[in-house]
């Protein structure tokens, strides 16, 4: 602390745009609430790994290290204050890319050290496999780290469509996945994790960041599950996923965040009892009613049930469009690739 106050490490940190001083210098600074290492510099990366991370890793009973917000800054607009409310300088695209690459380099260095001691690092990240706001997507970062064992941490799991797809490809790439549900727990949050989880995937749920807020959830954790029969699969042209395990089966719709888990029974759930679903086709008859857009499948079905003349619906998962029909003649053979008018899904009442 004495060395910090004297300014010995001033150049180790990113500067805020207003004073060109370290982003949290001196403490407290109302503009930014945390010091941020400038990992564009080799000296800073070496200091962080050798003087911060490794001494902690060498402590007794440490199996690995968790690193928070590893790519938050270079994956956001550094000029506008997105990273932790700090407007940073410099903040151009070249600096942002150098900072991102420097972060990948220290990840390689610390992973190499930890792996030699049979430990792993866990990196909290906001990156995505294919497309993201980061200078490079996670797919490329994974290639840089392919010779190392490490984990990816999800803070505040929402179970979005993209998150499910992301943890699935990570698990299939032998990356350990750590998912934390921050807040209320429900079937959908658990089902969305189950849909993409692999052999080294872990789930927890808490209401704060300390141990007393993390509790055992017997309604989920004590249920028999067994190995998966295969990967979670998304139905063509929809936001619906299904997956079977030895002792359970899961269905979910990641757009509406509705989920069904069949425990002690690996028969695939029936998400819409009383209806038969036909993918990638539409009723070509004149509609009884064009209800509109922005509906869930349940809402569209309910409108049909309330109309005694309605026997079928066209539903679009993309925008929630809903149309009611008295009779239904398929526009095309169901179940083929969803192109043109085939982006509809048709439901017939049983």
Residue 76 in tokens: 């956001």
Give 128-153 pLDDT, tens digit per residue: 999 888 999 999 999 999 999 999 99
Q: What is the DSSP letter of 13?
A: B
CA 327 → CA 221, 312, 346, distances in Å? 46, 7, 12
Residue 184 in tokens: 């209320």
Question: Which of 38, 13, 12, 9 shows the shortest CA–CA distance to 23?
Answer: 13
Report the C-alpha gap between 310 and 298 in whole angstroms: 15
Q: What is the DSSP letter of 286?
A: P
In the predicted model, residues of the chain with pLDDT beneath 70 are 1-7, 23-34, 237, 335-342
Pairing verdict, β 88-89 and 345-349? unpaired
For the entire predicted model, the pTM comes to 0.83
Give 236-250 pLDDT, tens digit per residue: 767 889 999 999 999
pLDDT at 2: 44
pLDDT at 29: 54
Strand order across the 233-234 sheet:
233-234, 240-244, 248-253, 258-263
pLDDT at 266: 87
pLDDT at 18: 80
pLDDT at 323: 97
| Cα angle for residues 137, 138, 143 (degrees, 5° grid) | 110
R_g (Cα) of the chain, nearest Å: 25
């Amino acid at each position: 602390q004495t060395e910090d106050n004297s300014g010995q490490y001033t150049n180790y940190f990113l500067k805020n745009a207003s004073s060109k001083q370290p982003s949290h210098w001196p403490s407290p600074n109302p503009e930014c609430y945390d010091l941020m290492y400038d990992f564009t510099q080799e000296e800073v990366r070496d200091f962080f790994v050798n003087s911060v991370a490794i001494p902690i890793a060498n402590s007794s009973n440490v199996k690995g290290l968790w690193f928070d917000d590893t790519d938050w800054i270079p994956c956001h607009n550094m000029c506008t204050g997105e990273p932790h409310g700090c407007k940073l300088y410099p903040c151009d695209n070249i600096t942002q890319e150098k900072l991102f690459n420097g972060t990948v380099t220290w990840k390689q260095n610390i992973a190499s050290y930890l792996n030699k001691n049979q430990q792993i690092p866990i990196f909290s990240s906001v990156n995505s496999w294919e497309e993201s706001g980061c200078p490079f997507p996670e797919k490329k970062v994974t290639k840089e780290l392919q010779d190392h064992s490490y984990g990816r941490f999800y803070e505040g799991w929402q179970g979005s469509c993209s998150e499910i797809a992301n943890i699935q490809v990570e698990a299939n790439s032998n990356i350990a996945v750590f998912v934390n549900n921050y807040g209320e727990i429900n079937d959908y949050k658990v089902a969305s994790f189950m849909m993409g989880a692999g052999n080294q995937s872990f789930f927890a749920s808490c209401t704060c960041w300390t141990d007393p807020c993390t509790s055992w959830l017997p309604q989920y954790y004590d249920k028999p599950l067994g190995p998966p029969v295969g990967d979670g699969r998304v139905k063509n042209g929809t936001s619906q996923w299904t997956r079977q395990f030895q002792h359970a089966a899961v269905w979910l719709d990641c757009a509406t965040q509705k989920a069904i888990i069949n425990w002690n029974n690996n028969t695939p759930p029936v998400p819409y009892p009383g209806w038969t679903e036909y993918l990638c086709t539409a009723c070509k008859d004149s509609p009884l009613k064009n209800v509109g857009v922005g509906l869930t499948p349940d809402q569209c079905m309910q409108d049909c049930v309330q109309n005694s003349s309605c026997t079928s619906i066209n539903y679009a998962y993309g925008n929630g469009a809903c149309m009611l029909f008295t009779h239904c003649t398929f526009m095309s053979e169901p179940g083929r690739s969803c192109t043109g008018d085939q982006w509809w899904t048709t439901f017939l009442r049983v």
